[in-house]
Structure 1
C-alpha cells in the first residue's frame, strides 16, 4: 500500500518525526501532521413488523451475501444522512436514523470504524438498486436461518432483535453550537 509522501496543505515532502511518542509523517514547512488513514462505514438496522431489512450484495466485497444496507460517509455529509441515503439508494426505503446500536473498530492499513444505526421506517417497499445489490426485503429470524447472511450482519441482527438496552439515541434537543454535528447519547433524566 502506498503511503502519503507529500503535505496535503502545502505540497512539501513529509518527513518522519516523533510526535506524542509515535513516529508520524509531518511537514517541515507547516503544521500538517499525517495522523493516519481512516474510513467510516455505516449500516442500517431497520425493523418493520418484526422483520429486518436486508439486501443481497451484487458486488465484491461480499457478493452473494445478505447484509444490512450500508456504505461509507462522504467528506461533508453528516453521518446520519449517509445511512438514510444508503438505505434509499440500496433498498428504495425512506428511513430516519434514530439511534446507534453498535460500533465496530477494525485497526488495519486503513483504520475502519463502522457505526450501526437503528432506523425508523418512513415509507417505501424494498427495491434493489440492481447495481450494488440485486435483492432486498424484510426478513424474520426463521427466514434468515435459511439465507446466506454475512456473519457480521447476523451479529447486528441479533442486537436489533434481541438487544436489551436502548442504545444511543439522537439528541434532537441539544443547544450546543456545533454546525452539522450528529449527536447521539444514552437516555438521561437530568440536564446539567
Structure 2
C-alpha cells in the first residue's frame, strides 16, 4: 500500500449563519462537502494558496485570512481498482473574511477538485456528508449555535 502526506490550506468563511463549502469532485471524499482550499504550490506562501484556491473553487475575491489552527487525519481508501492508498492529510485552517460584498459565488465547479460552491446553513451541517476537516472545525461552532439557540449563555 502506498502512503502519502498531503499538506493543504483551507478557509472557513461564515456569514449570516451559513458556511461556504465546496462539494468534492474527486479523491477519497468525492461527493462530500469540504472547506475551500487545496495544495500549496512550490514556493507559494500559505495565504497566497488560500487566495488562489478561493478564486479557483468559489470565485470569491478579495479575501483575507488569519490562521485558526492546523489539523490532520489519516485515511485508507481505494485509490484505484487494484490499489489502496493511505493518506496523511494535514490542513492549515484559516478564518476568512470576504472583502467585497458584491463578489459573485461560483456554483458550477472548477473542473478539477470542486463540483461547485454553496452557502450551507450551519443548522443543516449534520445532515450532509462532510469531510473530516469540516467535521473537526465546525463542531465547536455548531455547538455554540445550538447553545445560543437554546438560550444558554456561551462564555468567551
Match of 2:129 among 148, 151, 166: 148
Question: Among 39, 63, 66, which residue is 1:96 paired with?
Answer: 63
How many residues of Structure 1 are paired with residues of Structure 2 in the alignment? 129
Larger Rg belongs to: 1
Q: Which has the higher strand share?
A: 2
Residue of structure 2 aligned with 1:158, choices 132, 139, 142: 139
CA 1:41–1:133 in structure 2 vs 1: closer, same or farther (change >3 Å)? same
Asked whether 1:116 is paired with 2:88, we answer no
Q: 2:57–2:116: 8 Å Cα contact kept in structure 1?
A: no
The residue that corresponds to 1:13 in the other structure is none
**TM-score, normalised via structure 1 length:** 0.57
Match of 1:137 in 2: 118
Which ranges in structure 1 are unaligned for 5 or more consecutive residues? 3-36, 164-192
Contact (CA 8 Å) 2:71, 2:133: kept in 1 or not? no
The residue that corresponds to 2:82 in the other structure is none
What's the counterpart of residue 169 of structure 1?
Answer: none
Task: Tell me the distance in 1 between the aligned counterparts of 2:138 and 2:90.
Answer: 18
**Separation of aligned partners in 2, 1:95 and 1:60:** 28
In structure 2, list runs of 5 or more residues that go unmatched: 76-85, 145-156
CA distance 1:141–1:117, shift in 2 (3 Å): same
From the two aligned structures, give the one with the greater helix fraction.
2
Q: Which has the higher contact order (CA 8 A, sep 6+)?
A: 2
Normalising by structure 2, what TM-score?
0.68
Residues 1:49 and 1:58: Cα distance change in structure 2 (over 3 Å): same
